[in-house]
Amino acid sequence: MARRLGIYTLGHYLSLPNALSKKIWNPLLKNYETWELSYLDTSKAQDKANLEETLEGMLLTHQQILKGFFPLVERVECLERIEAEFSKNFNNLAAILSMEIQKPTALAQLECERSLDTIRATIELGRELLKKPLTREAEGRGSFRGSSSARPRGIALGVTPFNFPYNLSLHKIAPALLAGSPLIWRPSEKCQLTNLALVDVLHAAKVPAGLIAFLPMTHKSFWNLLEDSRINCVSFTGSEKIGWQIRERFKGPLILELGGTAPVYLEKMKDLELQNALKEIAVSAFSFSGQSCISAQNLAIQEDIFEEAVSLLKKEVDTFPSGSADAEKVLCSGVIDEDAYNRIQKTLNHATKDGAELYSQKISPPENVLNFVAPTLIFNPSEKLKSEELFAPLLNVFKVKNIDEFITFANHLPHRLQAAIYSSDSMSLEKAERELVFGGVALNIAPSVRVDSLPYGGRGLAGLGSEDPQSSYEFFSAMKTIYAKKN
């Protein structure tokens, strides 16, 4: 018998007749369970009425906050309750995450730890704002002065992806809550069960009704919502195609986090340093099947060490911990769904037709792992392949003469989110830091690192804006200036 889960709006769970049927492997019961996941379809009268009630309820909540309801000190206290509830349910949250999207257990636990980091960073920001609010003052010419302060912007729309369903959602939810702006949250249908577990945390933490709505919906319903004048701003993390379509159709404030192609440069290092660097690069490229916008994708090796480095890298591929997501120490399991699997196979077929050579881990598809793709090196990749986000356990490997050639290559990539360099030469490290035109540059560490309290955003087609507690709080706020005569 299928289990049915609903939406969440105005402090209540609602079960809708429209539902996505999904089979999820339960490692405890050793079988697949069927879940029915509700979603909004506003072409139907009742769903349209549900959305209208949500929008009007959130609008009323925003108006009440402007009048003094739910002040900053209470928002910080609410975030503290969310932290406590998340911590209390840590193991269960990690298990659900691993179960639904085949994220290896160790990586699921790491995401839960990072999610707590994001909540705590937002709490710390709130405590700082209680001491020193976001304000500016200035004297005008003549007998007046002006004072600006942050106010809740209004109803916001947040769209989140499947690959980090807790942490990337909290990067929108926590700052919006701190700013006092109601948030309509549209999750990916690929991780709806996981996101509902986070909704349970928010509900248990007593987030005021009208500040959060969890609304999976059809694509047409989403585009119609985007044109509603009550939506004041949009924070989107997802595909490049959808992101730029949103920019064309939505005229208000916008954050877009759209992905990258994470180039890495490797030059001569001591033997042990070289081995460690290649191990880190392999972990970055193949963990969670490369389904991260900052997983290593393009490895440019300085020509003098190319053969030595490739030999060591192949050993990393051969021994990479692949298998079932719930197995100890596994880092690479199945990709998210059959569509992703077919897309990756198509990419590999095209690569070989274009002259690329593949080196894959020799492993049979593990039992109870759907859509498994083995860690794979792609030698002699085409320029087109280097410039496209692969979102797969694939690593392009090629040689370059020196760091100058690498920087020229990297800076011409369309998606410039994060890059990395491994070198023993301080001049090379300084040159990379200075000349790489990327949102982030990792020095002697993999490009997949992120500190959740620091700005995160790319250049070029990687997106618009920056997402971290401080930047997002300012995004979900609007500065209002009051002018008055001097006393």
Quick: pLDDT tens for 29-82.
667 788 888 999 999 999 999 999 999 999 999 999 999 999 999 999 999 999
- Residues 395-444: tens digit of each pLDDT: 999 999 999 999 999 999 999 999 999 999 999 999 999 999 999 999 99
- In 10 A of CB 248, how many CB atoms? 7
Q: Are residues 229 and 331 in the same domain?
A: no
Tell which residue, 463, 267, 285, 300, has the closest CA to residue 383.
Answer: 300
User: How many domains are contained in the chain?
Assistant: 2
**204 and 351 together in one domain:** no
Residues 294 and 346 in one domain: yes
The answer as to whether 21 is a domain residue is: no
Does 145 fall in a domain?
yes
The pLDDT, as a whole number, for residue 486 is 85
Q: What is the pLDDT of residue 487?
A: 76
Domain interval for residue 402: 263-452
Closest-CA residue to 59 (of 251, 254, 200, 229): 229
Contact 40, 221 (CB under 8 A): yes
| For residues 113-134, average pLDDT | 97
221/320 same-domain check: no
Distances in whole angstroms, Cα of residue 483 to Cα of each of 113, 146, 375: 45, 4, 61
Position 3 in a domain = no
pLDDT in tens, 359-374: 999 998 888 899 999 9
Average predicted confidence (pLDDT) for the chain? 95
User: What length is written for the chain?
Assistant: 487
* Rounded Cα gap, residues 360 and 314, in angstroms: 9
Whether residues 159 and 196 share a domain: the answer is yes
The residue with greater pLDDT, 205 or 19, is 205
pLDDT at 224 over 90: yes
> Confidence class of residue 445 from pLDDT cuts 50, 70 and 90?
very high
**242 and 291 share a domain?**
no
Give a yes or no: residue 42 inside a domain. Answer: no
What number is the average pLDDT over the span 342-359?
98
- What percent of the chain has a predicted confidence (pLDDT) above 70? 98
Mean predicted confidence (pLDDT) in 461-478: 97
pLDDT exceeds 80 at position 311: yes
Residue 27 lies in a domain: no
Distances (CA, A) of 486 to 134, 142, 365: 22, 9, 75
463 phi and psi, to 5 degrees?
Answer: 140, -165
Q: How confident is the model at residue 2 (pLDDT cuts 50, 70, 90)?
A: low
pLDDT at position 27 over 70: no
Q: How far apart are CA 213 and CA 246, in angstroms?
A: 20
Residue 403 lies in a domain: yes
Among 378, 415, 406, CA closest to 393: 378
| Domain match, 222 and 368 both | no
CA dihedral of residues 88, 82, 133, 467 (deg, nearest 10): 100
Q: Are residues 366 and 243 in the same domain?
A: no
DSSP 267-313: ----HHHHHHHHHHHHHHHHGGGG-STTS--EEEEEGGGHHHHHHHH
Question: How many of the other CB atoms lie within 10 Å of CB of 453?
Answer: 16
User: For residue 180, what pLDDT band results from cuts at 50, 70 and 90?
Assistant: very high
Torsion from C-alpha of 177, 179, 180, 184, nearest 10 degrees: -60
Residue 24 lies in a domain: no
8 A C-beta contact, residue 148 and residue 480: yes
Residues 448 and 472 in one domain: no
pLDDT > 90 fraction of the chain, expressed in percent and rounded: 90
- The structure's pTM equals 0.96
Per-residue pLDDT band for 455 (boundaries 50, 70, 90) equals very high
Same domain flag for 432 and 468? no
Q: Are residues 204 and 279 in the same domain?
A: no
CATH of the domain at 94: 3.40.605.10
pLDDT at 1 > cutoff 60:
no
Per the structure block, which two tokens stand in for 302?
Answer: 């300085």
Asked, for residue 35, whether it belongs to a domain, the answer is no
Same domain, 362 and 436: yes
Of the pLDDT bands very low, low, confident and very high (cuts 50, 70, 90), residue 141 is: confident
Domain CATH number, residue 336: 3.40.309.10
Region 379-407: mean pLDDT is: 98
Mean pLDDT of the region 443-451: 97
Instruction: Please report the pLDDT score of residue 22 as a whole number.
Output: 81
- State yes or no: pLDDT of 28 exceeds 70: no
Buried b vs exposed e over 352-372: b needs ≥16 C-beta within 10 Å? Answer: eeeebeebbbeeeebebbbbb
